Amino acid sequence: MRGDDEPLLHIVDGEVVVTEKRGALAGLLHWFGEPMRSAWHHRDLIMAILRRELNERFKGSMAGWVWAIVAPFLALATYTIAFSGVVKLPNHVEATSQFDYALFIFGGLIAYSFFSEMAFRGPSLLHEYAHFIKQTMFPAEMLPIISTLRATVYVLIGLVVMLAAQIVLTGTIHWTLILLPLWLVPFLAFLIGMTWFLAALGAFTRDAAYLMMTLAPILMFATPVFWSIDGFSPNVRLLMYLNPLTGFIEIIRHLTVLGTLPRLPVVGWTLLLSLVSFYFGFWFFRRQRDRIADVI
């Protein structure tokens, strides 16, 4: 007689395969770790496709990767010229430099641009790789991870440009910058989960892509990119946190521009949003995975 905790033995292609019998808690923990295990298992494929996408971004351009630096530099220069001399930031904090307002806006814009790139590309992502998904045993759930990592490279370039400008223009850089990776990790998790959801949804209907193209530009003005939520009443501020980007933008500004620690409730809220987005997106994609190859 086999005990309840003993492993199950199956014969697959003449080989013995051991299948562990897990309890409910162990099964739940195993599922929570599945995205990380799968990404690690396919790490070589992820890096190979990521390198190809990065190499093709400026393929045929004489300047090449120079454009990745020129674009954020020109944007920051424009904001600096337009808003130099402002003595008070939108959150009512006194500016210590005439360039603080430009850096304030640029910090929010970096976070929003990261989101918008994934929102625009997510619904059509699986269609870009339809040939691989249809013809091979291609792990389609890795594509949102690859796409998000690709966008991360350009975000990091924008951050470097911003910090270099901060040193040149203001002569200071804040110690809170060392905490910036702690902001990037949950933001990546949030965007990967969102892209899993949009990619799976976009496989079944092109309307998802049109919806994102319509909503993303509008959402920019409903997100505190050019303004701050501190000018509103506490009740209104709570409603504004329903926009998941609000917390992420506040945190990056505190760490890079203001040099202060973000509020703990804001940090906790963004961490919760990241976990919900990541695992809901993963669950939704896995639920639709077997049907995706038939519809794209």
Amino acid 255: pLDDT:
94
pLDDT attached to residue 27: 79
Listed residue (235, 296, 241) closest to 267, CA to CA: 241
Comparison of pLDDT for 90 and 247, the residue scoring more: 247
Top-confidence residue, 17 or 175: 175
- Confidence (pLDDT) at 295: 81
Q: What is the CA radius of gyration of the chain?
A: 22
pTM of the model: 0.87
Q: How many residues can be counted in the chain?
A: 296
Angle at 47 between CA 44 and CA 48, to 5 degrees: 85
**pLDDT cut 70: percent of the chain above it:** 88
Task: Return the percentage of the chain with pLDDT > 90, whole number.
Answer: 53
For the residues 7-20, what does the mean pLDDT come to? 46
At 18, give phi and psi (nearest 5°): -95, 125
pLDDT single digits (tens) 204-233: 998 999 999 999 989 988 899 988 888 788
Q: For residue 292, what are its two tokens?
A: 């995706």
Judged by average pLDDT, the poorest of 13-17, 210-214, 238-242 is: 13-17
Specify the pLDDT at position 136.
Answer: 73
User: In DSSP terms, which residues pair with 88 in a beta bridge?
Assistant: 94
> What token pair was written down for 281?
């997106």
pLDDT (average), residues 248-262: 93
pLDDT in tens, 76-99: 888 878 776 665 677 767 766 778
Least confident of 9-23, 107-121, 162-176, 208-222: 9-23
CB 132 within 8 A of CB 110: no
**Spatial separation of the C-alpha atoms in residues 293 and 118, rounded to whole Å:** 22
Q: Where does the pLDDT of residue 245 fall: very low under 50, low under 70, confident under 90, or very high at 90 and above?
A: very high
Per the CB < 8 A criterion, the answer to whether 279 and 193 are in contact is yes
Q: What is the pLDDT of residues 34-48, one digit of tens each?
A: 999 999 999 999 999
Residue 165 has pLDDT above 50, yes or no: yes
pLDDT given for residue 1 in this prediction: 44
pLDDT digits (tens, 9 = 90+) for 168-192: 888 888 999 999 999 999 999 999 9
